[in-house]
Amino acid sequence: MIKSDIEAQKILCTHCGLLFDEVDEVCNRCGADLHQRKDNSLVKTFLFAISSLIFLIPANLLPIMVVTSLGNKDPGTIMGGVIYFFHHGAYGIGAVIFIASIAVPAFKLSVLFYLLYIVYWNKTQKAYGAMKYYRIISFIGKWSMLDIFVVALMVAMVQFKNLATINTGEAALAFALAVVMTMIATESFDPRLLWDKREKK
């Protein structure tokens, strides 16, 4: 029967892997502070996930890039870019942008709320499956930044005075903030909470 550190009244130093008694406060091997679980993990994860959700609204409604060619301003949204590529038969690139900018952020937030739900209602029997989702969102987290880097390159490359210029749109800021918030939310989440059985009161 597998026992957890809490059941055995132990604390793990997550930095060097040494195990201590619950009364210890500092790791004597690497000097790190000992915490049995990440502090305020649920509250932090929840708040950062909510802020990310809020930033995603302007990120999708406002233009991410403004193309000016021969005096005509053409602001384009993220979804607009995806539709443009599908219209012109560039399905591969359309799919890459759609997955990185729309599907991945939506998936990450849904998983975060699902993890919070499992911990909050203490559904430990679902821990094994939830763990897989947790690992997926930790792994794909940074890829949502893809479109921001693309905008940076487009703005840097297309500066041909009267002929054509590209400038940053407001959505770039909102989107970057949304990505950072989800990454912090994922980092704040302590996956060990999924497995901790709580006594019913």
Partner 1 sequence: MDTACKECGALVAQPAVDREHQYYCPRCDAMLYRSGQEFHYIILMALSSIILFFPAILLPILTLNIAGMEQSTTLVEAVWSFFGDGYTFIAVLVLLSGIIIPFLMLTLILMILIPIHYGVSPRKVATLFNLYEHLTEWSMGEVYLISILVAIIKLQKMAMLIIGEGFFLFIAFLITMYITMVWFNPHDIWHQQKSDDD
Binders of Zn ion in range 102-121 (CB under 5 A): none
Chain centroid offset of residue 160 CA: 36
Nearest to 185 by CA among 35, 47, 20, 93: 47
Distances in Å between the Cα of 161 and the Cα atoms of 59, 66, 69, 151, 157 are: 27, 14, 9, 18, 12
* Shortest spacing between CB 30 and partner 1, in angstroms: 4
- Of residues 123 through 162, those in contact with partner 1 by CB under 8 A are 127-128, 131, 138, 141-143, 145-150, 152-160
27 scored as a contact of Zn ion (CB under 5 A): yes
- Residue 26 near partner 1 by CB under 8 A: no
- What radius of gyration do the chain's Cα atoms show? 22
Decide if residue 194 touches Zn ion (CB under 5 A): no
Q: 9: which 2 tokens?
A: 């009244």
- Of the pair 13, 49, the CB lying nearest Zn ion is at 13
Residue 193 binds to Zn ion (criterion: CB under 5 A): no
Binds 23: which of Zn ion, partner 1, none (CB < 5-8 Å by kind): none
Q: Tell me how far apart the alpha carbons of residues 50 and 138 are, in angstroms, rounded to a whole number.
A: 18
> Which of 53, 56, 64, 172 touches partner 1 by CB under 8 A?
172
Q: Using H for helix, E for strand and C for coil, what is the string for 23-78? A: CCCECCCCCCECCCCCCCHHHHHHHHHHHHHHHHHHHHHCCCEEEEECCEEEEECH
Q: Which of 21, 22, 26, 31 binds partner 1 (CB under 8 A)?
A: 31
Q: Which H helix or E strand runs over 152?
A: helix 146-157
16 near partner 1, rule: CB under 8 A: yes
DSSP state of 193: G
Q: Which residues bind Zn ion (CB under 5 A)?
A: 13, 15-16, 27, 29-30, 32
Q: Which residues bind partner 1 (CB under 8 A)?
A: 2-6, 8, 10, 12, 14-19, 29-32, 90, 93, 96-97, 127-128, 131, 138, 141-143, 145-150, 152-160, 163-164, 167-168, 172-173, 176-177, 180, 183, 187, 191-192, 194-196
